[in-house]
Structure 1
Amino acid sequence: METQLLTKDMSSRILSEILDRPDAYLIVEAVKAALDKEKEIRQKFYNDITEDDKAEFINGEMVMHSPVMMRHNQVGGLLFTLLNFYVVREQLGYVGYEKLMISLTRNDYEPDICFFRQEKAVQFKQDQLLFPAPDLIVEILSNSTQAYDRGVKFKDYQAHKIEEYWIIDPKDQTLEQYHLFGEEYQLILKSTVGDVKSFAVEGFQIPIPAIFDAAENLKAFQSL
C-alpha cells in the first residue's frame, strides 16, 4: 500500500511540475511524438511475432522470454486445471493460458493465466489474436520476469482496473492475492497454507497447496 501511495504521489508531482513550466505544451508535444513513434514499433511487433514466440511489448520494447523451469510449468498446469474446469462447468467465461496476448493502452502482455467473465468471452472470435483486459490475471514468478511482474505489470494491471491479480512464487510455494479497491490494489493474502477465494471468479475457492502439489491438486479437483 505504501508503494502504491508513493507511485500515485509521484504521478501527481510529475504532472504538477510540467504544468508549472512555461514550455508545458512543448513537453506534451514531445511526449506525443515519442508515443506516436512507439505505435509504429508496436505495429512492427504485431507483424513480426509468430505463434511460436513467447513475447511481450512493454514500454516501447519487445521483450522475448526464455523457456520456463519445470516447477514453473507444473504450477501453471495445476492451477489452470482447477480454474478452467470450474469456469467451464459453471459457464462463467473463458480462461487463457500462457500465450494468450492481452492488449492494453500501451503494452501487450502474455500472462501465465487469465480469466475473462462471460460478458467479455462471448464476444471472442476463433481467429482472435489480441484480447482486452481480463478480470483476473495470474503471473508465476521466474528470475527473468519477477521485476516485470512486480513492477510495470503490477502498475499497468492496476491502472487498467483489472479486478484481481495473483503473483505466485513457485520456488517458495507462496501465493499473493491482490484485489482492486478504487484505483489501487490491496494485498488480501500472502501465504503458503489455507485457502484462496477469488473475487473475480464467483465461487472459486481452493487450498493454496493444491497449486503446488499434484496430490493436493487432485483432492481439490474432486472437491470442486
Structure 2
Amino acid sequence: MTVSKSHAYFTAEEYLQLEHISPIKHEYLQGQMVAMAEASKAHVIITGNLSALLVNHLRGTDCIAYVTDMKVKLPALEVFYYPDLAVTYDDRDLRSDEDFVVHPKLIIEVLSDSTEAFDRGDKFADYKSNPAFVEYVLIHQKQVLVERFQRKSDTLWIPYNYQEGSTVEFASIGFACEIEALYDNLSQLL
C-alpha cells in the first residue's frame, strides 16, 4: 500500500512514541498516522468471546493470543496495524518487550461497515507480505458468517466459509469450535 506524503510525516520511532501517550489508537502507514474508529457493541462481544476461547485453547502452549491493543509490524512495508486478534508462537515475538509483534501466524479481524473493504483488500494484501502469516479470518458482526483464508503458497490462499451450524477451524493453531460460540450473547443484535 502506498500512502500520499501530503500530510504530516512521522518516522516509525515517532509513531511508537506518540502512540504510547495518545488517548486513541492509530495505525501507521508509511509515515502516516491513521486514527481508528470506535468498535460497536457487537464487535466488542465477538472479540471478547473469541479471546476467551483462544486463551483457554492456547493455555499451556508456546502460543499467545493478543487482542485489539497489540500492533502487528510489517517491516517490509513500514506499516503497523492493530488487528482484532493476532496469535504468535515465534520466540522472537514471545521474548521481545516491544509493544508489537512481527511474526503472527493467525490474524483475525471483526468486520464493520467502515473497515470491511480495507480489511479484505489492502490490509489483507499487506499482511500477506509477512512470510510467517499463514491464516486470516474475517468475522462478520451483522450475520453469522466467518471467512477463513489459509496460505498454501506465496500466491495461493484457500478460502473457507462457515455459517450457522458450522464448526469453525483455525488450522494454524489446531483450534475448532461451534460458530455459535463466537456469537454468544449477540442474538438480540443480529
**What residue is the counterpart of 2:106 in the other structure?**
136
Amino acid at match of 2:38: P
* Distance in 1, Cα, partners of 2:164 & 2:129: 28
Do the aligned residues in 2 keep the contact of 1:92 with 1:201 (CA within 8 Å)?
A: no
Q: Tell me, which stretches of 5 or more residues in structure 1 are unaligned?
A: 1-30, 217-224
Q: What TM-score do the two structures reach when normalised by structure 1? A: 0.71
Are 2:23 and 1:55 aligned?
Answer: no
Do the aligned residues in 2 keep the contact of 1:98 with 1:113 (CA within 8 Å)?
A: yes
**Segment of structure 1 superposing worse, 164-173 or 141-150:** 141-150
**What residue is the counterpart of 1:152 in the other structure?**
122
**What residue is the counterpart of 1:85 in the other structure?**
56
* Distance in 2, Cα, partners of 1:173 & 1:42: 37
* Distance in 2, Cα, partners of 1:102 & 1:64: 16
* Distance in 2, Cα, partners of 1:148 & 1:58: 13
- Give the C-alpha shift of residue 170 in structure 1: 0.8
- Give the C-alpha shift of residue 121 in structure 1: 4.8
Are 2:69 and 1:99 aligned?
Answer: yes
**Structure 1, residues 19-41: CA drift from partner, whole Å, max 9, x if none?**
xxxxxxxxxxxx9xx8xx96x54
Sort the Cα spacing of 1:120 and 1:209 in 2 relative to 1 into closer, same or farther, 3 A: farther
Amino acid at match of 2:102: P
Sort the Cα spacing of 1:120 and 1:41 in 2 relative to 1 into closer, same or farther, 3 A: closer
* Distance in 2, Cα, partners of 1:118 & 1:62: 27
Q: Which has the higher strand share?
A: 2
**Segment of structure 1 superposing worse, 50-59 or 90-99:** 50-59
**Structure 1, residues 43-93: CA drift from partner, whole Å, max 9, x if none?**
3322322364221012442111121110000000001100011101x4131
Task: State the structure with more CA Rg.
Answer: 1
**What residue is the counterpart of 2:160 in the other structure?**
188
Task: Give the 3-state SS of the residue equivalent to 1:200 in structure 2.
Answer: helix
**What residue is the counterpart of 2:82 in the other structure?**
110
Sort the Cα spacing of 1:56 and 1:209 in 2 relative to 1 into closer, same or farther, 3 A: same
Amino acid at match of 1:75: I
* Distance in 2, Cα, partners of 1:173 & 1:115: 23
Q: What TM-score do the two structures reach when normalised by structure 2? A: 0.83
**Structure 1, residues 106-146: CA drift from partner, whole Å, max 9, x if none?**
21011101101163454233xx2122130000000112221
Task: Give the 3-state SS of the residue equivalent to 2:38 in structure 1.
Answer: coil
**What residue is the counterpart of 2:91 in the other structure?**
119
1:163-178 to 2 correspondences below 5 Å: 163-178=134-149
Task: Give the 3-state SS of the residue equivalent to 1:159 in structure 2.
Answer: coil
**What residue is the counterpart of 1:219 in the other structure?**
none
Do the aligned residues in 1 keep the contact of 2:137 with 2:149 (CA within 8 Å)?
A: yes
Identity %: 23
Aligned residues: 177
* RMSD between superposed Cα atoms in Å: 2.5
Do the aligned residues in 1 keep the contact of 2:145 with 2:161 (CA within 8 Å)?
A: no
Q: Tell me, which stretches of 5 or more residues in structure 2 are unaligned?
A: none
Task: Give the 3-state SS of the residue equivalent to 2:33 in structure 1.
Answer: strand
Amino acid at match of 1:119: D
Task: Give the 3-state SS of the residue equivalent to 2:58 in structure 1.
Answer: helix
